[in-house]
């Protein structure tokens, strides 16, 4: 398929800065075969002046937890993950997980995401459900042997990881695998070692939660007399490439111990919901590599990666509101000018990392470079053919003098015109949301998920 747009997003955002120009993107199967810059020759799909960009990469999520959207809001006083999610999750079957995963994937699909890094039980069922949708994915079947609902399934999930890693049909459809140890308090030293052995065999990165709760921090110190990060260091886990979600209870010195093979993932809205957002400004200053992701509808309720970017941009200025200078002003012992100086300092420190292009790069080329078997988030030969066409005439983004700023700061999802995932056009070009949500396939998927959810909630007495 040959797709032309006069405004195609070119460049990888690293050595080759992002820019916009006319190009024909040639897709073969799930991948981009070539990119021909300049005015078009022949094409199958003419997007005219619509902005053709890479689709977003959501680098930490649990699509199946879509089924619990809104349910956690009444119960955020304790540890919602352990108190509520675990009871629900203990009842789930592979078929339930696949049905809920589809609904979570539809939501992301309709907001411009083409690749998700998913971490959940029954990873194999999720992989197949997403490949059919289509949604590209790096599936990390969750392994845990000390606690949690998957405690008795870790061997099956590890076997599934190995099977998925060898599945060429899924690879052709843009679905691959990562190793998914759950966290430091739910995985034993013995199992972390197994994970490292499988890493050596498969060559795929780890995807784990790290120091996400006060309980995890305290358990690690009680059991091993060290912090979560130090324990992983002692086990040799920090020697291998990994994507770590949350990293909240990580000290300033430990932040320095992360290297180029590690990526920290903040999930700003989920963390706001829990009441403790990650300090991505400190991450940036420590030199850690980081990006943002959605986590799950159950802890967030929105699954817009673009909104996470907008929140990240706010970190360039928000610290002033919590600064000692503002504290002094509030207590009539310091001048307004000092508050403004604190604001300007904070803004200056993050300025170059929070430009619209820098933020988009986090969920385009950077997030798309984290797996050795898959390239995404960039319009370049060999990358997944995951593309979004944005209608810049839509009032949600018009007049889009700076299209990158519009994608970060405006409610740009409303302007999505066409979505292509793994080389397949999703729904009808120009009519994406309506064509998908009124399709027979979507109706069947939604009805199945609704039926399964009702049955599970009944069993939980809700």
Residues engaged in binding Zn ion (CB under 5 A): 295
100 or 329: whose CB is closer to Zn ion? 100
Q: How far is CA 34 from CA 1, 24, 151, 366, 452, in A?
A: 11, 8, 45, 20, 43
DSSP label of 84 = I
Classify strands 45-46 and 2-10 as parallel, antiparallel or unpaired.
Answer: parallel
Residue with tokens 């949350």: 246
Q: How far is the CB of 366 from Zn ion (least distance, A)?
A: 19
User: CA 391 to CA 401: how far, in whole Å?
Assistant: 13
**Nearest in space to 414 (alpha carbons), one of 49, 111, 55:** 111
Q: How far is the CB of 343 from Zn ion (least distance, A)?
A: 32
295 or 394: whose CB is closer to Zn ion? 295
Contact 54, 9 (CB under 8 A): yes
117 or 154: whose CB is closer to Zn ion? 117
295 or 417: whose CB is closer to Zn ion? 295
Sign of torsion, CA 371 376 379 381? positive
Q: How far is the CB of 11 from Zn ion (least distance, A)?
A: 31
* Structure-token pair, residue 203: 């060559």
217 or 295: whose CB is closer to Zn ion? 295
Q: Which residue is nearest to Zn ion (CB)?
A: 295
Q: How far is CA 354 from CA 313, 322, 357, 453, in A?
A: 5, 20, 8, 39
C-alpha 383: how far from its chain's center?
A: 18
89 or 295: whose CB is closer to Zn ion? 295
27 or 229: whose CB is closer to Zn ion? 229
41 or 70: whose CB is closer to Zn ion? 70
Contact 193, 154 (CB under 8 A): no
Q: How far is the CB of 79 from Zn ion (least distance, A)?
A: 14
Q: How far is the CB of 188 from Zn ion (least distance, A)?
A: 20
Q: How far is the CB of 459 from Zn ion (least distance, A)?
A: 24
* Structure-token pair, residue 140: 């990390």
Contact 248, 271 (CB under 8 A): yes
Q: How far is the CB of 285 from Zn ion (least distance, A)?
A: 24
58 or 295: whose CB is closer to Zn ion? 295
User: CA 197 to CA 189: how far, in whole Å?
Assistant: 12
**Nearest in space to 441 (alpha carbons), one of 452, 423, 426, 429:** 426
Q: How far is the CB of 29 from Zn ion (least distance, A)?
A: 31
User: CA 101 to CA 93: how far, in whole Å?
Assistant: 12
Q: Rounded to 5 degrees, what angle do the CA atoms 43, 434, 422 make?
A: 45
142 or 323: whose CB is closer to Zn ion? 142
Q: How far is the CB of 247 from Zn ion (least distance, A)?
A: 12
Q: How far is the CB of 274 from Zn ion (least distance, A)?
A: 11
* Structure-token pair, residue 252: 């300033």
Instruction: Count other Cβ atoms within 10 Å, centred on residue 261.
Output: 14
258 or 274: whose CB is closer to Zn ion? 274
Q: How far is the CB of 118 from Zn ion (least distance, A)?
A: 10
Residue with tokens 């690879």: 171
* Structure-token pair, residue 77: 């006083």
246 or 371: whose CB is closer to Zn ion? 246
Q: How far is the CB of 295 from Zn ion (least distance, A)?
A: 5
**Nearest in space to 309 (alpha carbons), one of 263, 268, 262, 365:** 268
* Helix (H/G/I), strand (E/B), else coil: 16: coil
**Contacts (Cβ under 8 Å, ≥6 apart) of 20:** 7, 8, 9, 10, 51, 403
| Residue 164 burial (C-beta neighbours within 10 Å; 0-12, 13-18, 19+) | buried
């Amino acid at each position: 398929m040959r797709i032309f747009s006069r405004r195609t997003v070119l460049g990888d955002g690293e050595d080759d800065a992002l820019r916009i120009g006319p190009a024909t993107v040639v897709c073969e199967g799930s991948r981009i075969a070539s990119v021909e810059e300049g005015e078009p020759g022949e094409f199958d799909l003419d997007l005219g002046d619509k902005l053709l960009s890479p689709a977003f990469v959501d680098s930490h999520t649990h699509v199946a937890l879509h089924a619990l959207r809104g349910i956690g809001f009444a119960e955020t006083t304790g540890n919602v993950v352990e108190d509520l999610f675990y009871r629900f999750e203990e009842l789930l079957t592979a078929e339930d997980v696949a049905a809920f995963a589809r609904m979570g994937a539809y939501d992301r699909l309709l907001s411009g995401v083409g690749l998700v890094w998913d971490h959940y039980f029954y990873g194999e069922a999720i992989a197949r459900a997403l490949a059919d949708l289509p949604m590209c994915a790096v599936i990390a079947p969750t392994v845990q042997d000390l606690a949690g609902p998957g405690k008795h399934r870790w061997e099956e999930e590890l076997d599934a990881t190995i099977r998925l890693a060898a599945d060429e049909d899924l690879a052709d459809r843009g679905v691959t695998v990562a190793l998914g140890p759950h966290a430091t308090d739910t995985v034993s030293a013995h199992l972390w070692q197994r994970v490292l052995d499988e890493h050596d065999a498969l060559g795929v990165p780890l995807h784990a939660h790290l120091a996400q709760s006060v309980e995890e921090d305290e358990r690690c110190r009680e059991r091993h007399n060290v912090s979560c990060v130090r324990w992983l260091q002692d086990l040799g886990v920090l020697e291998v490439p990994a994507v770590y979600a949350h990293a909240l209870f990580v000290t300033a010195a430990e932040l320095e111990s992360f290297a180029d093979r590690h990526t920290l993932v903040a999930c700003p809205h989920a963390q706001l919901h829990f009441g403790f957002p990650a300090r991505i400004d400190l991450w940036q200053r420590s030199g850690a590599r980081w990006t943002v992701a959605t986590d799950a509808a159950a802890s967030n309720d929105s699954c817009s990666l673009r909104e996470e970017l907008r929140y990240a941009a706010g970190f360039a200025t928000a610290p002033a509101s919590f600064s000692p200078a503002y504290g002094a002003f509030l207590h009539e012992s310091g001048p307004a000018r000092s508050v403004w100086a604190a604001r300007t300092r904070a803004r200056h420190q993050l300025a170059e990392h929070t430009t619209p292009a820098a933020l988009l790069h986090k969920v385009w080329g950077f997030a798309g470079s984290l797996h050795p078997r898959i390239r995404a988030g960039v319009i370049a030969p060999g990358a997944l053919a995951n593309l979004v066409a944005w209608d810049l005439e839509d009032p949600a983004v018009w007049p889009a003098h700076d299209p990158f700023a519009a994608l970060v700061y405006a409610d740009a999802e409303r302007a999505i015109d066409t979505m292509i995932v793994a080389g397949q056009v999703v729904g009808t070009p120009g009519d994406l949301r309506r064509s998908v949500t009124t399709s027979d396939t979507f109706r069947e998927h939604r009805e199945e998920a609704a039926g399964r959810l009702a049955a599970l909630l009944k069993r939980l007495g809700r």
